[in-house]
């Protein structure tokens, strides 16, 4: 057993000071990810800073959209009328995540910060560059059925686990953070980073920075969104492939704006820019959706056991677009 200290933060400033000033410290809120990692001896924080008492739980419709506090729990966000009405893909993604018990504990900020479910990362006896730099990536030549088909590197081909982050990418969400240097706002598309040669770095957050809120912008509410999750079993399972599609379709049936985001296929929530380009200005019909689905898989490659994800992604994208376009 690894010994650690525990402290409760009573305000944001004290939380920031505690974590920024101690390289062995980490935040804990719902604890549904970090406690698992501690049990598996993957993470060994010297200090847990409990932030559950901070006033970051509100879910507030504003003139700019909906502002969701970082400590709001997943179930509350999914059930909020403004989220369910204006950002259905976000509510759907939350309700398809984990289990009811975990959704009642897990926070929005924690969900964005959760780490990969790659078996090599979570088994301390196996090589993993993300966990132990320079040890190698066991998935490259090993069991990789669940691994990335795009965005990986020779250092890491893990996939990102969050359903929510994929849906947030489709609605252009903004992550608000606070650090000792002040506050900043980060578009969700730029929040997570690809592994490259530094797979241990997963987000653009600096040491000690704390997510305070996630903003769902009002402009995205004009698009009809839908979240599709394909998995091995119907509940309590991570995505093999997921798609968040958001379309703004004119009265004449042409697509004015589009967002297509993918999960289960990359180390980060993956925005399919080529698919979006194939949609804008085109009629919202099966032919357009099929062309966009083909575009979504450009650049994907198999590492052996995960090649099926490429065809599965095409089918999932076409199906999600049909729902978002009202053709399903």
Question: Which pLDDT score is estimated for 6?
Answer: 96
The C-alpha atoms of residue 147 and residue 196 are separated, in whole angstroms, by 15
CATH topology of domain 5-52: 3.30.43
What tokens were used for 112? Answer: 């964005």
- Token pair in block for residue 168: 């947030």
- Within a 13 Å sphere around the CA of 219, how many CA atoms are in the beta-carbon half? 8
Handedness of CA 205, 206, 212, 217 (dihedral sign): negative
Yes or no: say if 296 and 274 are a contact pair by the CB < 8 Å rule: yes
Give pLDDT, residue 16: 96
Give the tens place of pLDDT for each residue, 184-213: 999 999 999 999 999 999 999 999 999 999
Domain 223-324 has CATH 3.30.390.50: yes
Residue 99 has what pLDDT? Answer: 95
Q: What is the pLDDT of residue 2?
A: 83
Please list the pLDDT of the chain residue by residue as tens digits (328 residues).
Answer: 689 999 999 999 999 999 998 999 999 999 999 999 999 999 999 999 999 999 999 999 999 999 999 999 999 999 999 999 999 999 999 999 999 999 999 999 999 999 999 999 999 999 999 999 999 999 999 999 999 999 999 999 999 999 999 999 999 999 999 999 999 999 999 999 999 999 999 999 999 999 999 999 999 999 999 999 999 999 999 999 999 999 999 999 999 999 999 999 999 999 999 999 999 999 999 999 999 999 999 999 999 999 999 999 999 999 999 999 987 6
Question: CA 82, 84, 89 angle in degrees (round to 5)?
Answer: 125
The SS3 of residue 97 is coil
* Cα-based distances in Å from 223 to 228, 244, 247, 324: 16, 12, 5, 8
Q: Where are the domains of the chain?
A: 5-52, 223-324
The reported pTM is 0.97
Determine the Cα–Cα distance for residues 328 and 322; give it in Å rounded to an integer: 5
Q: At what angle do helices 286-296 and 308-324 cross, to 10 degrees?
A: 140
Q: How many CB atoms lie within 10 A of CB 281?
A: 11
CA distances from 121 to 112, 137, 195, 254, 279 (A): 18, 9, 13, 45, 37
Which residues, other chains included, contact 27 with Cβ-Cβ below 8 Å and sequence gap of 6+? Answer: 15, 19, 48, 49, 51, 210
């Amino acid at each position: 057993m690894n010994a650690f200290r525990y402290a409760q933060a009573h305000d944001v400033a004290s939380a920031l000071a505690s974590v920024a000033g101690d390289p062995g410290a980490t935040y804990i809120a719902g604890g549904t990810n970090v406690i698992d990692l501690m049990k598996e001896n993957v993470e060994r924080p010297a200090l847990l800073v409990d932030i559950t008492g901070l006033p970051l739980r509100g879910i507030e419709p504003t003139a700019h959209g909906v502002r969701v506090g970082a400590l709001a729990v997943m179930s509350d966000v999914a059930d909020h009328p403004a989220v369910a009405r204006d950002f259905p893909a976000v509510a759907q993604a939350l309700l398809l995540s984990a289990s009811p018990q975990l959704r009642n504990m897990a926070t929005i900020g924690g969900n964005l910060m959760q780490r990969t479910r790659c078996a090599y990362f979570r088994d301390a006896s196996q090589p993993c560059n993300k966990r132990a730099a320079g040890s190698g990536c066991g998935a490259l030549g090993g069991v990789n059925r669940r691994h990335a088909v795009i965005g990986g590197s020779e250092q890491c081909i893990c996939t990102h686990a969050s359903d929510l982050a994929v849906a947030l990418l489709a609605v252009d969400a903004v992550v608000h953070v606070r650090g000792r240097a002040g506050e900043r706002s980060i578009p969700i598309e730029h929040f997570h980073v690809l592994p490259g040669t530094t797979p241990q770095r997963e987000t653009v957050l600096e040491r000690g920075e704390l997510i305070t809120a996630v903003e769902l912008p009002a402009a995205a509410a004009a698009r009809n969104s839908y979240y599709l999750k394909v998995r091995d079993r119907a509940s309590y399972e991570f995505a093999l492939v997921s798609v968040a599609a958001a379309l703004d379709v004119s009265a004449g049936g042409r697509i004015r704006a589009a967002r297509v985001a993918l999960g289960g296929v990359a180390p980060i929530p993956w925005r399919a820019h080529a698919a979006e380009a194939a949609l804008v200005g085109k009629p919202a019909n099966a032919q357009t959706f099929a062309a966009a689905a083909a575009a979504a898989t450009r650049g994907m490659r198999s590492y052996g056991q995960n090649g099926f994800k490429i065809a599965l992604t095409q089918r999932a994208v076409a199906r999600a677009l049909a729902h978002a376009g009202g053709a399903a």
